[in-house]
Amino acid sequence: MPPRNDARTDRDFMAGLGKGLSVIECFDEENVLLSVSAVAARARLSRAAARRCLLTLQRLGYAELDGGLYRLTPRVLRLGFAYIASNELPDLLQPRVDQLSGEIHESCSASILDGDEIVYIARAATKRIMTVALGIGARLPATCTSMGRVLLASLDPDEAARRIAAAPRKAFTPRTMTREEDLLRILQQVRQQGYCVTDQELEIGLVSIAVPIQNTAGKTVAALNIGTQSARFAAADLSARFLTKLKAAQKDLRPLIKSPG
């Protein structure tokens, strides 16, 4: 679950809206159907509050009952589409992601940072490189992905350290770096070299390299990566093989992404 700020003393905070959104966030690929009690536990709400939120979402068409359990409806996609429709990044990044993927014949993606996760906003897959299907809106942990580490490295070091400390840091493979001190050291290296390579930390056989994407003011707003299989390219060879292409895309995109204000 994404981190939430303590808003109990914020007079402008709408507690009901916050609870409703936290209920929606309870559902994912591993929790498609949930009981009221399960939602209450996952959202850290009382059972009564969880029930009211679910009934409200049901009446608004965002949730439905299925055999006594609740599931989300396709109407929830309106919330995600609102972001896509109101943000220029996906439209600007997708053509360059497609072009890069076509040039190198490897899967390419772009993502943004949301708490301790990355969210895919553009993707071109030439082949299935992961057991989990990835598409627009897919989420992965930031701490063990090349794009996530690039995005974390772009933050103020204290903020990056806070997010790492709060993140679950699950060991997906024997190669996954989970210790805070190791991750902070990696982020410092990423800041210095300007890119990140990961070697089978999210899934055995998956290697990737990522660079930050900046706007015209030099602020990192997204990350761009190339993902491939270790049987095709060793992680140690990724920078020599693909970094020039990634940096060319990085350079092309910067003048297109305007700084707000």
Residue 153 DSSP SS3: helix
Which residue is listed with tokens 């969880």? 50
- Counting other chains too, the contacts that 171-177 makes at CB distance below 8 Å and 24 or more residues apart are 172/144, 172/201, 172/202, 172/203, 173/200, 173/201, 173/202, 173/203, 173/204, 175/199, 175/200, 175/201, 175/204, 176/144, 176/201, 176/202, 177/143, 177/144, 177/201
The whole-angstrom distance between residue 129's C-alpha and the CA centroid of its chain comes to 17
Query: Which whole number is the average pLDDT over 221-249?
Result: 96
Query: Which whole number is the average pLDDT over 19-33?
Result: 92
CATH of the domain at 217: 3.30.450.40
Give me the domain span that covers residue 21.
Answer: 15-76
Residues 191 and 229 in one domain: yes
pLDDT of residue 181: 97
Q: Higher confidence at residue 240 or residue 78?
A: 240
Taking the model in full, what pTM does it have? 0.81
Residues 189 and 147 in one domain: yes
For residue 4, tell me if it sits in a domain: no
Lowest mean pLDDT of 80-84, 113-117, 249-253, name the range: 80-84
For residue 1, tell me if it sits in a domain: no
> What is the token pair recorded at 5?
């700020």
Q: How confident is the model at residue 87 (pLDDT cuts 50, 70, 90)?
A: confident
Query: Which whole number is the average pLDDT over 62-84?
Result: 88
Residues 23 and 64 in one domain: yes
Q: What's 188's DSSP letter?
A: H
**CA 99 to CA 104: how far, in whole Å?**
9
**CA 159 to CA 161: how far, in whole Å?**
5
Taking the CB of residue 202, how many other CB atoms lie within 10 A of it? 23
pLDDT of residue 11: 79
Q: How confident is the model at residue 2 (pLDDT cuts 50, 70, 90)?
A: very low
Q: How far is CA 6 from CA 9, 11, 13, 15, 26, in A?
A: 8, 12, 10, 11, 18
**CA 51 to CA 37: how far, in whole Å?**
8
Which of 26, 41, 76 represents a domain boundary (last residue)? 76
Residues 97 and 54 in one domain: no
The string of pLDDT tens digits covering residues 206-219 is: 999 999 999 999 99
Count structural domains, the chain.
2
Residues 131 and 27 in one domain: no
CATH of the domain at 35: 1.10.10.10
User: In terms of C-beta density within 10 A (0-12 exposed, 13-18 middle, 19 or more buried), how is residue 254 classed?
Assistant: middle
The string of pLDDT tens digits covering residues 146-181 is: 999 999 999 999 999 999 999 999 999 999 999 999
Residues 71 and 119 in one domain: no
**What share of the chain has pLDDT > 70, as a percent?**
93
For residue 21, tell me if it sits in a domain: yes
pLDDT of residue 9: 56
Indicate if the pLDDT at residue 109 is higher than 70: yes
For residue 134, tell me if it sits in a domain: yes
